[in-house]
Amino acid sequence: LAQFYNPLLQKEVKKTLKLLRSKTRFLITSHIGIDGDGLASELALARALKKMGKKVQVLNDSGTPHAYQFLPDAQKIERFGQVSPAPREVTVILDAGKFERIGSLKDVVSLRRDTVINIDHHRSNKGFGTVSLIDPLISSAGELLFEFFKWAKIEIDKTTALLLYVAILTDTGRFTYDNTTARTHRNIGELLEYGIRPELVANEIYRRVTHGQVELLKHALATLTYTEDGRIAHITLLRKDFDQTGTSGLETQEFVEIPRSIDGVRVGIYFRETLEKGTVKVSMRSNGGIDLNRFARRFGGGGHRSAAGITLQTKIEEAKRKIIASLAQDISRI
């Protein structure tokens, strides 16, 4: 085999391929609050493994958001709690920067007992797998899978290409975040050659909302607040907002873009209460100048430079006070 695209990963790609080829039964999972990259990468890898004659189960903590239910085989993804993991030889964890990110699957996956392949692109990832294939310079887990499939000469068909396209499209914010590179566009160009129609994909993911989502957006906009200097803008959704509109947090992944996009704002924040009582999720997006991954890590979270998240076990008012005060201090230094 030729040299891998990222020569630093030469050993890891070889080990990964060896495991994928030699083993038969696989469990594939990803992170809580699953997104387009997590889901589409899972489905792309599952498809590739099935074509190699393997037994594959895709099992997640989270349900599949409305926007991604059109993905081929999305209906076959199972949910932990409703379904238990089947016997397996290898567990593949995609797009998770920390082992804890697999959520309740921690109860059945053990880093000590199990063979775990971690395929990821988060800068904060320290490599928790038996094999850890991590490229912090690539846009998404899906783009890393694409380069891996090409290198390993694993067949990519039109459906796999669509899945990888969706992973890259969504994780780059439609090719607008700072993880979008010439390499990304070259890979996307190759994927488009399979006959993918970007307008149809966009219709499914970006040009379609449920009535509940619009109602929820009204609640979110009513909470929009700025810090005194106008450099932080934040929105908040409470448990009751989701209950009243029949929606879930998974349907609000783009909401943080609203405070972030306002003129003069450096960081947009979206706070929400989760189903678990006393747990608050904090999503943050910056317009540059501040490293949100570094900021989030101080609170046990992580992510990327311009997009990161934190989970706090506290009341929402306390979470807001703490995060906003701390971030305002960091921003005052830039």
Q: Which residues make up the interface to Mn ion (CB under 5 A)? A: 37, 95, 140, 171
- CA-nearest of 173, 189, 134, 163 to 41 is 163
Cβ-based neighbour number of residue 168 at 10 Å: 31
Of residues 171 and 241, the one with the C-beta less far from Mn ion? 171
Of residues 105 and 138, the one with the C-beta less far from Mn ion? 138
Greatest alpha-carbon pair distance for the chain in Å reads 59
- Distance in Å, CB of 173 to Mn ion, minimum: 11
- Distance in Å, CB of 241 to Mn ion, minimum: 27
Of residues 140 and 286, the one with the C-beta less far from Mn ion? 140
- Distance in Å, CB of 179 to Mn ion, minimum: 9
- Which residue has its beta carbon closest to Mn ion? 37
Q: Which residues contact 112 (CB under 8 A, 6 or more apart)?
A: none
The C-alpha atoms of residue 149 and residue 291 are separated, in whole angstroms, by: 32
Of residues 39 and 220, the one with the C-beta less far from Mn ion? 39
- Distance in Å, CB of 79 to Mn ion, minimum: 20
Alpha carbon dihedral 140, 156, 185, 179, in 10-degree steps, equals 0
Contact 292, 267 (CB under 8 A): yes
Of residues 37 and 61, the one with the C-beta less far from Mn ion? 37
Contact 268, 282 (CB under 8 A): no
- Distance in Å, CB of 253 to Mn ion, minimum: 12
The C-alpha atoms of residue 14 and residue 154 are separated, in whole angstroms, by: 13
